[in-house]
Chain A
């Protein structure tokens, strides 16, 4: 049975044997025996399931094969390209990073959270990052997209739902051990910026008369020998190791799955890495008469990660002395590395002058171990307990309770010997000690309980009715505290040890207080309640109807808006079951349609990884604050927040029509979906009468629409016992349109206005170089060239960073134990401003930072046809508001492959070994893109100095015995 399952689970569809769920109706005719064991099951919300044929929803299930053995800390990284309609973009390759954007069916909000709801083992999670969940523990991931699937989650289901189920032991399976291990190597990706080498950089210095090269003769430049590649010097290939040990056990009435995992992922930036221990124990049991059943999933995780400050401090992305990811690219190649032993030497040498490329030495110091310690530890507990009792064969009462707890500790410091600490200290007379250490902790706790009563009965052999009523309770708590010690004694200071803290003194020079420490703490409570009912009706497997009504209450809202109602209705027609289809090639041909509503109560978009349930926790109440008052009266009271008592969730309504098909003797299968998803009551700037003391407040108004088509296709060319080959492809197209907005929102070069896509680029059009003077030429609003464009000349480009197309394709092949699986992912029609390119094409940077070698070809009186503006172009600064660096960041990525050998089970028949597999796995192997930078990925507008996703190749083995 296991073997059979494996055969059919290859790829993106998901089949579950008689374990978690089983179709209730036993086939009567024995010819269906083959299918009997492998009824294909779709996992839906609140542990509901449906057979593939009876499913009315637009959802895609991804099996464990897609996620297993990949060198990704979070399973989210492995979802890219794996299913249509779910866009995944990781915009940091820092090990254990939370910077992964997941968007299902387009951006459904401008300001509110857009992350999907994640449901783990049946309970909704508030989390948006999953670094402490071992991807190898995951059995399946379902992506729920249409209203039929998501309305059941009410005002948490607006952005789609991702359901994660973890592995379970199987009843009557005996005991089984498994081990899997992988070792991998990651390397830094390359860029196409054509940076100048040392001689070119010196030549450019000479041309502009600034920098080291300006004092050198052409001969001296030609004979210059130093040529440092700072990227290579700073960043190194890194090792990744993963070991997982699993035990599963199944008796007649009890089954257990236990796993222990260890992951150690090195970072390309030497001061970054990630280590994780995970332990999971999933138990199921049932009573002798099978009427009472029980299960629990308990997972604990502990991880520690070292990060650059930049990872959580976007304010320093463009900082040339604090962000090595940006600074290394523009490090001058004619400077020599490793000239300074420590921060003291460096400070004595350069003081606080960063001209002439001195910043690169500071970055050298930043990247020294223990210069700027920045680490997090995350302790997590995810535990669910569920019990159900069959009151009658048709009626089941269930309760499911769970907790999701995370505790994060952070240590962030500027060690007293680091250059940055010394530089700051030098500006504070009377202080003998520099540096600071910040220690913080946050705790995030969610309790969730769902009680449900389900009724399921088959009438007259044809009418199958399922009814359910549910009640859900959720409560969440957040605690945060932090202290910062200013002034560290290098004699005894050790990061995180609490040593070397200098006492507060009265500054002998200016009489102020020195080394004062700061403390802060905060606490937020959140919660929600929901009551809902579901109905599913099936007539002879031919027609089906399904509906949900949900009443939802959120702690965020008040009065009449505290409770909201959401609903959906859906139907299907299994055309293949009609008589006129007898004898057709279609094994499955199903038309389905759904319409329904959802809400988005997470009105404030959190930073990556933060739990959105805690944001906007008191927008409905007036708040005061204490500050200096009129005539400098201390401790006066001010109104700091005016209540928005009519605050509400964003309203989503979605129409979906889809077709599921399987034909040609099950060789070809797939589905196509068309949807219109509308958001109303967008949370954004709303006009207000002056009587409130403001003209604009954050409230609910405006709308947008996402409309698209998505499809999935798989064709099995060969499907024999020892040879298989199948190809799959999934594609999604989504068009985002703002349908209603009181006022256009213009933020720099981005505009949100009615009729356009969200975050549309609004820029001057860059024409090229004026051959007469080398200045930049732009197009004005009348279509004439101008050197001095104004705001009126901006053009709404219709382009946005949001990809219009995304998807994936690949193949799964197997021959006599050898196998090859590949996955390509792509995103198309996604436009970003290449901020890095803007830096390196700026002639003003010559002599201080390295630039592109293209500047050697700049316009000059003897090179008037160049497409690079003069190094002395007067209007060079204007290109920042033009489309000169607006770049198509579409990409096709060879996302992943696995090639290996699995010893056929026949050959293992007489050994204790049940299976054995060795493989080589590659991740992010190659990317085809017009983007010049390290990594085209990430839903960002002006990317600069981001941590690129690494290219990783690993060797692994799985053994079961």
Chain B
């Protein structure tokens, strides 16, 4: 018996080991488009950059959130409840836009990290002309975009971006697994990564690329905004200047304007289909400033997200309207009355026409109207559609005016108020079709901050700046409640029209969607 067992067990083991069993459990399906198969060459990296990376850049949530939460919009004629609670300053962890801002940038960071991980398996061939440069340029673009994503996250979620010891966002520098949960990092850790990325991008980007891509000028612009947000005015000034010089762009002019309208009287905007206005805003407009917004020319855009007419790209104007950017296109939000009033009161300001659709219904008696939502329809036309594709436009991330505003802030910080005034004048000159404007005279820094904040409000509306601007500049400008709404911006009148600049809601909450999975992540104060 023992003998037999001695004999049988080795036999059994032999039998088992002879079958190459692991082929049954170590199976990778044939032809799987795996990570390994994705990153084989430098041109594969380019394909991934064009695919998952650039396509993940997204600031729509910021644009919409900013408009609805601040004073850029009023309820549109077709609004039947959309985002009204947010508009009434109800902001908590479950807000969809907050959740969207948070995840959209982490999606981009995740995809950049995947590209960087894939790139480690690719070695550019130095003997192939330009391959090393191309390799480096791809990484430069990816890392610049990652830095941009972190800057956006920091701006909205850090308790204080000017304090490098304050709480920042999650630092993700690798490709995580699905169940991975990370805590928030200190600002200084995030800043290190941003700076490393931007410095790498600055010194490694050799490709000459259009304004639809990260290029030398847009890297400088990102840096300028980054240092401004951090309060490092020396570097902000340096990079704003280099963005201006590297881009070779000038501020887009408000002239020429269509002819035959000299009698058009500013301030008496009656909105009845004015042929001059229609011509100015038409697809074939010859006005340089308008052409920038309908994407028929680059204008002063430093960096825009390309949204071609063909394909299933996002429609930016659908943030504000349902079908078209016209009074009959079922607008969900229209221009805030106070913003409109300021624009209209500026003599010769091209923006009061370019930002408003000619079909707008302007009710002079809006304050006494029983339904200003439907009688006073200030249809936003900053995103007028691209060619015949309604609602779609390139999404402008950085424009030259912003660099001028940054320089104005830097000059104010240096207490060089005339210089600051001149930068603001430069923008106002460019936006005025009647001619050069008088330079403002600032009595003190507060007056300068106030004017910069005002001009930013006019120029950068609907581009996702106002919320951060109020947070950054509201108090400097000596204001306690910078959100400046008209009572007709909502349908219920006794509602609060503003909140204090010191309110906790000027830092977004870590969204519920994140805390559900990541319950130990630190929440921002007040939520």
Write the residues of chain A forming the contact surface with B, with a CB cutoff of 8 angstroms: 391-392, 395, 397, 449, 451, 453, 471, 473-475, 523-529, 553-555, 562, 617-618, 621-633, 635-640, 642-646, 686-695, 697, 699, 742-743
Contacts and interface: CB of A to CB of B under 8 A. Distances in A.
A525 B30 contact: yes
Interface of B: 1, 4-5, 8, 12, 15-16, 19, 21-35, 37-38, 44, 47-48, 50-56, 99, 102-103, 106-107, 109-111, 114, 170, 172, 176-182, 212, 306, 308, 310-311, 511, 513-514, 516-518
Contacts of A395: 4-5, 8
B138 to A, nearest CB: 12
Given A471-B16, A627-B51, A693 B178 contact: no
A933 B103 CA distance: 48
A451 B9 CA distance: 13
Given A392-B4, A742-B516, A693 B107 contact: yes
A695 B179 contact: no
B33 A623 contact: yes
Nearest to B153: A690
B117 to A, nearest CB: 10
Given A624-B35, A637-B47, A645-B177, A691 B24 contact: no
24 contacts: A391-B8, A451-B15, A529-B22, A555-B26, A621-B35, A622-B34, A632-B310, A633-B50, A636-B55, A637-B44, A637-B50, A637-B52, A642-B178, A645-B177, A646-B177, A686-B178, A686-B517, A690-B513, A691-B172, A691-B176, A691-B180, A691-B182, A692-B106, A692-B180
A270 B172 CA distance: 63
Nearest to B182: A691
A697 B516 CA distance: 13
Contact of A453 (B8, B44, B511): B8
Contacts of B29: 523-525, 617-618
Nearest to B210: A631
B4 A391 contact: yes
Contacts of A638: 48, 51-52, 55
Q: Which are the 7 A-B pairs with shortest beta-carbon distances?
A: A527-B24, A636-B51, A630-B54, A629-B50, A687-B517, A693-B107, A631-B306
| Max chain A C-beta neighbours (<10 A), residue from B19, B22, B52 | B52
B103 A632 contact: no
A621 B34 contact: yes
Given A630-B306, A639-B114, A743-B516, A527 B177 contact: no
Contacts of B179: 646, 686, 688, 699
A686 B52 CA distance: 23
Contacts of A636: 47-48, 50-51, 55
Contacts, number: 183
Contacts of A625: 33
Contacts of A449: 19
Contacts of B48: 624, 636-638
A751 B51 CA distance: 37
A861 B160 CA distance: 68
A399 B121 CA distance: 46
Contacts of A529: 21-22, 24-25
A154 to B, nearest CB: 13
A397 B12 contact: yes
A451 B27 CA distance: 22
A527 B47 contact: no
Given A395-B4, A473-B24, A475-B23, 10 more contacts: A473-B21, A525-B30, A527-B27, A621-B32, A623-B34, A629-B50, A645-B178, A686-B178, A687-B513, A687-B516
The residue in A453, A632, A637 that gathers the most chain B C-beta atoms within 10 A of its C-beta is: A637
B12 A451 contact: yes
A214 to B, nearest CB: 35
Contacts of A687: 513, 516-517
A456 to B, nearest CB: 14
Contacts of A397: 8, 12
A693 B25 contact: no
Given A646-B179, A689-B180, A631 B54 contact: yes
B106 to A, nearest CB: 4
Contact of B24 (A555, A618, A693): A555
Contacts of B514: 689-690, 695
Most buried by B among A449, A638, A645, A686: A638
Contacts of A633: 47, 50
Contacts of B5: 395
A636 B115 CA distance: 13
A473 B5 CA distance: 24
Nearest to B518: A689
A694 to B, nearest CB: 7
Contact of A691 (B16, B38, B50, B170): B170
Contacts of A694: 103, 107
A95 B518 CA distance: 52
**Interface hub of A554, A636, A644 (most chain B Cβ within 10 A):** A636
Nearest to B38: A624
A408 B77 CA distance: 58
B178 A632 contact: no
Contacts of B103: 690, 693-695
Contacts of A693: 56, 103, 106-107, 110-111
A692 B310 contact: no
Given A632-B311, A637-B48, A695-B514, A643 B178 contact: yes
B23 A527 contact: yes
Given A628-B311, A632-B311, A692 B47 contact: no
A541 B386 CA distance: 86
A553 B25 contact: yes
Contacts of B107: 690, 693-694
Contacts of B111: 639, 693
Which of B23, B179, B516 gathers the greatest number of chain A CB atoms within 10 Å? B179
A67 B212 CA distance: 71
Contact of B30 (A523, A643, A686, A691): A523
Nearest to A639: B52
Contacts of A630: 50-51, 53-55, 306
B25 A624 contact: no
A628 B33 CA distance: 16
A395 B5 CA distance: 9
Contacts of B311: 628, 632
Nearest to A640: B33
Contacts of A474: 24
A637 B109 contact: no
A699 B177 CA distance: 12
B29 to A, nearest CB: 5
Contacts of A623: 32-34
B517 A695 contact: yes
A692 B110 contact: yes
A621 B34 CA distance: 7
B12 A688 contact: no
Contacts of B1: 392
B25 A554 contact: yes
Nearest to A743: B516
Contacts of B55: 629-630, 636, 638
B25 A562 contact: yes
B249 to A, nearest CB: 20
A524 B28 CA distance: 9
A32 to B, nearest CB: 31
A453 B21 contact: no
B316 to A, nearest CB: 15
